[in-house]
Amino acid sequence: MIILYSITMNYLTEINNFIKYNFSHNSSLVDILYYISYLLYFIAFVLLTKYYWKTKSGYDPKFQTYVQVLIAATIIITVYSVYFQIVAYKDSVNNQEVQYFDNFYKEFLDETIKFFIDHPEMNYYYDELFYNKSDYEKRERNKELESQISIIIFSRMSSIINYINTYKKTENDERRDKIDQSEKLLLKILDSFFGSKIFNEYWKKFKNGLSNKETIDYIKQHFNK
């Protein structure tokens, strides 16, 4: 039994060293728990095959207690590893969704700005959207390009509104805070956009043709348009 105790303690020392090594190399908790459970299964298998069926020590109550505790610990660790894996997966999904929304929002702004950079003749519309300055003559307007950028804005705007309405009531605090911040920014941008006569002109056309009810209701609620 002294030999058995020594072997068991050696195994426990190896497990302790294994945990320290993985933590020092930034392994995730789920990975570490899985590795430990596999290691414990292996230890239990070795003890059973080497001692339980082949030596008298296998019939010793203390030995059987060691094995039972080892198996119980293995099962518990396996259950916890599965649980933490589920939690980690949910966190990963939430983080990916937040990142997706960040990218989507960035694309919305980048596309809008890039359009005006590529078409400097549309600066009059840019000034009206972002600064509400209406310093142009009607004959100077390029209605074809106005329509293109307006549709791009409305399309992106509708997608963001749909995302906000879908995830606004989420139970995830981090994602909810992010959505609240993003919605405030969206409303601030749209408040400036709806200060543009041209933008309002195209919104009326888009609303009655291509827009969905969700977007129409959202704009009606916040801007009465």
Provide the residue count of the chain: 225
pLDDT for residue 111: 87
pLDDT for residue 135: 78
Burial class (CB in 10 A: 0-12, 13-18, 19+), 140: exposed
Q: Cα–Cα distance between 6 and 189 in angstroms, integer?
A: 70
Count of C-beta atoms within a 10 Å radius of residue 206: 20
pLDDT for residue 34: 64
Q: Cα–Cα distance between 106 and 150 in angstroms, integer?
A: 17
Is-contact 98 177, C-beta < 8 A? Answer: no
pLDDT for residue 63: 67
Mapped onto helix, strand or coil, the DSSP state of residue 97 is: helix
Q: What is the pLDDT along the chain (225 residues), one digit of tens a residue?
A: 444 445 455 555 555 555 555 545 445 665 666 667 667 677 767 666 666 655 666 566 776 677 777 777 777 777 776 776 676 666 666 666 667 777 777 888 888 999 999 999 999 999 999 998 887 777 788 999 999 999 999 998 998 898 888 877 666 666 677 778 888 888 999 999 999 999 999 999 999 887 889 999 999 999 999
Give domain limits for the chain.
Answer: 2-90, 119-223
CA distances from 82 to 29, 87, 155 (A): 11, 9, 41
